[in-house]
Amino acid sequence: MNHMNHMPAVDPDEELPKVEKLIFDLAWKFTKTYPIDFQEARREAYYAFVRACYDYNPSRGTKFSSWVYTWVWCHLKTLITKRTVEPLVFIEVKDEIFGEAAPDRSPTLDMIGDLSEDAKEIIKLLLETPGELLGSACTPKQLLHKVKNYLVGKGRPKAEVDKAHKEIVQKFREAWA
């Protein structure tokens, strides 16, 4: 159903002043945590606010501000998640512009190459998450939990999945020590 074909449950013009700081703060937090421009994050946050106005149902007992928070957070998180599965575009950055580069904390092929097949499968599922796993998982911890449950549901012994997870954690700790 297209939400924009019916009247909003609450008047966006009336409610915006009450939640504008919340919307702004969420957009700002996402720009500090994820690779997204503030103007884009803010624009997407306002879009999610309008969608929340159309979908809000006060009879559910949820405060409007909580409803908006959930809509905005999940919309921004979904936007970021979708971008992680798209191909990366590399650009050349001159070191003299930014000074000395920060130490690289991304996984290297050498690191991943040393992992067991189970651990490699977990990393592959985290990087190329199938739609059936995304669902409502919004945090990395929830996504990891879903990936582990997915593998167990596909017949992998839980002990092997847990061992592979521990192997990944140990490998990253060693690499970043």
Q: Show pLDDT as tens, one digit a residue, over the chain (177 residues).
A: 444 557 888 999 999 999 999 999 999 999 988 888 899 999 999 999 999 999 898 888 889 999 999 999 999 998 888 776 554 444 444 455 445 554 544 445 455 667 788 777 777 766 665 555 555 545 666 667 777 877 888 888 899 988 988 887 787 677 665
Question: How many domains does the chain divide into?
Answer: 2
Question: In sequence order, what DSSP letters do the residues of 29-48 get, joined into one string?
Answer: HHHHHSS--HHHHHHHHHHH
**159: containing domain:** 101-176
Say if residue 24 is in the same domain as residue 79.
yes
Q: Tell me if 90 is assigned to some domain.
A: no
Q: Tell me if 111 is assigned to some domain.
A: yes
Q: Tell me if 124 is assigned to some domain.
A: yes
Q: Tell me if 119 is assigned to some domain.
A: yes
| Stated pTM of the model | 0.47
Contacts of 53 (CB under 8 A, 6+ apart): 8, 9, 10, 11, 12, 15
Say if residue 64 is in the same domain as residue 124.
no
How many residues appear in the chain? 177
